[in-house]
Chain A
Amino acid sequence: MSKLRWTLWVPLALFGAFFVLVASQLMNPASTTVESAMIGKPLPEFALKPANADRPGLATSDMRDGQPRLLNVFASWCVPCAAEAPQLSALERAGANIVGVAIRDRPEDVAMFLAQHGNPYSRIGADDLSEVQVGIGSSGVPETFVIDGKGIIRYQHIGDIRDQDVPMLLEKLKEAGL
């Protein structure tokens, strides 16, 4: 019996392991944002039709002209997208080239949205089935990607762009070669 005395400590040791596991999980709560696995990789091939009448559609080939861009994933039905519109306009005024991908939208709604909140986009592609959105690793709207001049995804911003994000995004654009 005494030879097995150490086995009596096994339950406590197991419980200790359980404690370490869950305590470490509690301390670093799993992040709820889903980061794109596409960062550092080239954009997938796509060619989207225009999402409204006065801007051309968007294709991968448009983004390999040596100029870095912001790719903004938005939708007219998305409230935070309206909230970030002033920041997008500020970015445009600061010289950023912004292209849009409208998710599951209708041309008349997009037109209404742009009329109301301003149109900072040079091109807007209509992604009716979220194919491009999924392809670039975005899991919600709004999200904003920095694409360099070779069409490679450099950075992902999840959620709406706040005031303090504007200089940061300009910096990222500069890093990408603006």
Chain B
Amino acid sequence: MIAEFGLAALWLAAALAAMQLVAGALVLRRDEPTLAALVRPAAVVQGLLAALSFGALFLLFVQTDLSVRLVAENSHTAKPMIFKIAGAWSNHEGSMLLWVAVMALAGALIALIEHRLPERTLLATLAAQAFVSLGFYAFLLVSSNPFERLSPAPPEGNGLNPLLQDVAAAYHPTTLYFGYVGLSVAFSFAVGALLTRQVTPDFARAMRPWVLGAWIFLTLGITAGSYWAYYELGWGGWWFWDPVENASLMPWLAATALLHSASVLAARDALRAWTIMLGVVAFSMSMIGTFLVRSGILTSVHAFAVDPERGSFILALLTLYIGSALTLFALRAGTVAEGERFSVTSREGALVVNNVALSAILAIVLVGTLYPLLTEAFGIKVSVGPPYFNPVSALFFLPMLVVLAIGPMLRWRRDSLGRVQNEAVLLGVIALLVLAGVWFNTSIGLLPLLGLALSVAVAVGSVLPLKGRSLRRLPLAVWGMVVAHFGIAVAMFGMSADSAFTKEKLVAATPGETVEVGPWKVTLETVEPVAGPNWTALEGVLVASYKGGKPKQIAPQSREFWSPVQKTSESALLTRWNGQLYAVLGEEIDGGRWQIRLWWKPFVTWIWYGGLLIGFGGFLALLGRVLGDLKRRNLQARIARRRRTAADEEQAA
């Protein structure tokens, strides 16, 4: 019953999306008040229905209703409840349903609260949103029905990939989806603005909270995903330039650029066509990312989501969306009037540098990700890895950091470097001091060295905009910028320190043996079998002491899941403020000796603390914008009320 209800709700939602698209498009051609009145309610009801449909799937997974194919294939009665729930979106159909539900809810929210844009632009935006949604509805209903029944129902489900039985992994895809959906909203706003030629500061202000929200989710999703790969895969690395990681990084880069260019458009009415372009590109990157992951045309650690037929469907969808949006852009962008002008040394100038650098890095990552495909077309197999990505993207990233340290202190429109001379010299001296200090004490690579020096300078530079301002009266959005920029510095410091100072040891140890790695002394005590709810494991008990301090116990495991059968290694971590000890238990060799891999990774955790700070900065900015909007709206309502009362009084008089 629940499954049929969910499917019915999905069909109805699709029908409403079709109505929303047609009505919105007709209103664009000529003014029809009756049709125009349909669009907003259609968006709201569509949102509710899509949410109900996902709710139905959620319930099916909670109950583990094995008569539904999707549940039978992806769940198991013996699985812990949290992973049963995660099963609702840890598969192709469920994740598509979640995507379309969140997208519909976003459309509903826009229909309910957005009154700043010209009505025609808003209706065009909602029509564009329905256009994107319809593709997903078609995809779900035609080729990936999540509510399909199985008859007879199997006695037991097929489990969930044990690699994904992990709390971080349960949430990381959803955060990325929220991010992608937010970018689809930005895309719709961009298309709506292009269709009605209303590329105004108001458009940027209406779009900005959505971009900010998407960007926060993407930031957190990437941070969580990177930490998951770090401790779950047991390779000790936190970023592999894997196609799927790149697929999440590219929308983030585009969204970061969009966020900054939208600020320029909102504040100064400049960079109009560029902002529109980025709105289209950001969503394109999330679609292309999804496509690369799902189609399996690139090999990756995320191969569990692969299916070539779905790949063709997503390719068709993304071609439809991106192709039509880019065609519209080519036809219309030339008619969008040029925005305000500004000088090179100005806040806008700095933000343009940021945008150019981010776009360049985006292009570098995209080319590196697609290059193996290109060479394969000519029969050559290559893989592109860190030796390409790290130095080439650093070429743009490091100069961007320099501008990041100075830019926020510049004034809008026109400024002179002389005004920020003292600050610039201070930051330069700090960077040089760090550089010299590290250079004379250790011998590390050039990139980590520059990274360390710049990260300290950026950390100081990021708080300089607070100088001379009343901290209590400072807008939340400025706090957000400061915190996010500081987070960049923290993450950068972690990355550089990890790549420069990591110590690694691979040993075959007998119980009782002590191994030294960096400042740590680690003793293998025992290796014992242990059992969990749906796995058994060998657990190595290690006792580690930092610089002869109080010993602490950690227990890495080599786990075997039994449904489906799969082996994973559960690394064990010992976290200090200044880094992590990372231990992996390997195989037993020639009776009684155990392979143990140990890393001491100084400041590695700062990478993720930085990621969290960046996300928190985004949250502060979003809060500031939303509260500001509410305040403005209240004020307007009060003014309107006062006018009405005045008019009433006049009439009465």
Kindly specify which of B162-170, B321-329, B591-599 makes contact with the partner chain: B321-329
Q: Are B297 and A22 in touch, CB under 8 angstroms?
A: yes
B322-A15 in contact (CB<8A): yes
Q: Given the known A-B contacts A1-B338, A29-B308, are A24 and B295 also in contact in the complex, defined by CB atoms under 8 Å? A: no
Residue numbers in B under 8 Å from A8 (CB-CB): 273, 329-330, 333-334
Bound form: Cα–Cα A26–B312 in Å? 7
Binary B-proximity of A1-32 (CB < 8 A = 1, otherwise 0): 11001001101100110110111111001100
Cross-interface CB contact of B377 among A2, A19, A21, A29, cutoff 8 Å:
A21
A14 to chain B, nearest CB (A): 9
* CB-contacts of B291-307 with A (<8 A): 291, 295, 297
Cβ contact of B323, chosen from A9, A15, A22, A30, cutoff 8 A: A15
- Neighbouring A residues of B277 by C-beta, 8 Å: 11
- Is B376 a contact of A30 with CB atoms below 8 Å? yes
- B319: which A residues are within 8 A, CB to CB? 19
> A18 contacts B308, CB within 8 Å?
no
Q: Is B284 on the interface with A (CB-CB < 8 A)?
A: yes
Whether B288 sits at the interface, judged by CB under 8 Å, is yes
Contact (Cβ within 8 A) A24 B323: no
The answer to whether A22 touches B329 (Cβ under 8 A) is no
Q: Does B370 contact A (CB under 8 A)?
A: yes
Q: Is B373 an interface residue (CB 8 A)?
A: yes
Residue B35 interfacial (CB < 8 Å): no
Contacts of B447 in A (CB 8 A): none
Majority secondary structure of chain B interface residues (helix, strand, loop or mixed): helix
Range class of the B interface residue count: 20 to 34
Beta-carbon contact of A12 and B334 below 8 Å: no
Is the pair B373, A25 in contact by a Cβ cutoff of 8 Å?
yes
Contact across chains for A18 and B295 when beta carbons are under 8 A apart: no
| Most chain B CB neighbours (cut-off 10 Å) among A2, A5, A12, A30 | A12
Q: Is the CB of B323 within 8 A of A12?
A: yes
Q: Closest residue to B374 on the A side, CB-wise?
A: A21
Point out the residues of chain B lying under 8 angstroms from A11, CB to CB. Answer: 277, 280-281, 326, 329-330
CA distance A22 to B334 in the complex (A): 30
Q: B334, A18: Cβ atoms under 8 Å? A: no
Q: Does B463 belong to the interface (CB within 8 Å)?
A: no
From residue A39, how far is it (CB to closest CB) to chain B in Å?
Answer: 16
Residue of B315, B326, B333 touching A22 (CB-CB under 8 A):
B315
B237 at the interface (CB under 8 A from A): no
Q: What 0/1 pattern do residues 310 to 343 of B give for CB contact below 8 A with A? A: 0110010001001100110110011000100000
A24 to B288, CA, bound (A): 16
Q: Can you name the residue of chain A whose Cβ is closest to the Cβ of B312? A: A26
A30 proximity list for chain B (CB < 8 A):
297, 376
Complex Cα distance, B323 from A23, in Å, reads 14
Given contacts A15-B322, A18-B370, contact A25 B377 (CB under 8 A): yes
User: Given A12, A21, A22, A29, which contacts B327 in the complex, CB threshold below 8 Å?
Assistant: A12
- Complexed CA–CA distance, A5 and B338 (Å): 13
Contacts of B323 in A (CB 8 A): 12, 15-16, 19
Query: Chain B CB within 10 Å — which of A1, A21, A25 has the most?
Result: A25
Residues of chain B from 100 to 137 with CB closer than 8 A to chain A in the complex: none
Contact (Cβ within 8 A) A26 B376? no
Q: Complex formed: what's the CA distance from A24 to B284 in Å? A: 19
Cross-chain contact of B370 among A16, A21, A24 (Cβ < 8 A): A21
Minimum C-beta distance from A26 to chain B (A): 6
How far does the alpha carbon of A53 sit from the alpha carbon of B319 in the complex, in Å?
A: 64
- With A11-B326, A15-B326 known to touch, is A1 a contact of B308 (CB < 8 Å)? no
CB distance from B88 to the nearest CB of A (A): 29
Contact A23 B315, CB 8 Å, known A15-B284, A15-B322, A18-B288: yes
User: With A and B bound together, what is the CA distance between A30 and B333 in angstroms?
Assistant: 39
Docked CA distance A5–B336 (Å)? 12
Which chain B residue lies CB-closest to A8? B330
- CA–CA, A15 and B324, complex, Å: 11
Contact assessment for B330 and A22 in the assembled complex, using a CB-CB cutoff below 8 Å: no
Complex CA gap A170/B558 in Å reads 48
Asked whether, in the complex, the Cβ of A24 is within 8 Å of the Cβ of B377, the reply is: yes
- Judge whether A12 and B326 touch: CB under 8 Å: yes
Docked Cα-Cα span, A12 to B312, in Å, equals: 20
Residues of B within 8 A of A24 (CB): 377
Q: Which residue of A lies closest to B299 (CB)?
A: A30
Residues of A within 8 A of B312 (CB): 26
Residue of B nearest to A30 (CB): B376
Asked if A25 contacts B297 (CB within 8 A), the reply is yes
A12 to B328, CA, bound (A): 10
Taking CB as reference atom, which chain B residue is nearest A5?
B334
Contact of B376 among A5, A18, A25 (CB under 8 A): A25
**Nearest-CB residue, chain A, relative to B277:** A11
Residues of A with C-beta under 8 A to B330: 8-9, 11-12
Q: Tell which of B297, B326, B329 touches A26, judged by Cβ atoms closer than 8 Å.
A: B297
- Whole-angstrom distance between the alpha carbons of A131 and B373 in the complex? 31
- Closest B residue, CB atoms, query A28: B377
Which chain B positions have C-beta within 8 A of A23?
315
Which positions 353-385 of chain B face chain A at CB distance < 8 Å?
370, 373-374, 376-377
Assembly CA distance A25 to B311 (angstroms): 11
Contacts of B295 in A (CB 8 A): 22, 26
Question: B334 contacts A26, CB within 8 Å?
Answer: no
Query: Which residues of B sit under 8 angstroms from A2, Cβ to Cβ?
Result: 334
A88 CA to B277 CA, complexed, in Å:
63
What is the bound-complex CA distance between A29 and B309, given in angstroms?
11
The residues of A that contact B311 with a CB separation of less than 8 Å are 26
Q: How far is the CA of A18 from the CA of B312 in the complex (A)?
A: 14
Bound together, the chains give a CA A25 to CA B315 distance in angstroms of 12
Rounded to whole Å, the gap between the CB of A21 and the closest CB of chain B is: 6
Residue with the greatest number of chain B CB neighbours at <10 A, chosen from A2, A15, A23, A24: A15
A26 touches B308 (CB 8 A): yes
| Centre residue among B277, B312, B330 by max chain A CB count within 10 A | B330
Report chain B residues within 8 Å CB of A22. Answer: 291, 295, 297, 315, 370, 373
Q: In whole angstroms, what is the CA distance A100 to B377 when docked?
A: 36
B496 shortest CB reach to chain A, Å: 33
In the bound complex, CA of A120 to CA of B129 (Å): 67
Within 8 A of B (CB), among A27-51: 29-30
Besides A19-B323, A23-B315, 15 new A-B residue pairs in contact (Cβ under 8 A), listed by A number:
A8-B334, A12-B323, A12-B326, A15-B284, A15-B323, A19-B319, A21-B374, A22-B295, A22-B297, A22-B315, A24-B377, A25-B297, A26-B295, A30-B297, A30-B376
3 closest A-B pairs by CB: A12-B326, A8-B330, A9-B330
**Interface residue ranges, A against B (CB under 8 Å):** 1-2, 5, 8-9, 11-12, 15-16, 18-19, 21-26, 29-30
13 contacts between A and B (CB under 8 A): A1-B338, A5-B334, A11-B277, A11-B329, A12-B326, A15-B322, A15-B326, A22-B297, A23-B315, A25-B377, A26-B308, A29-B297, A30-B376
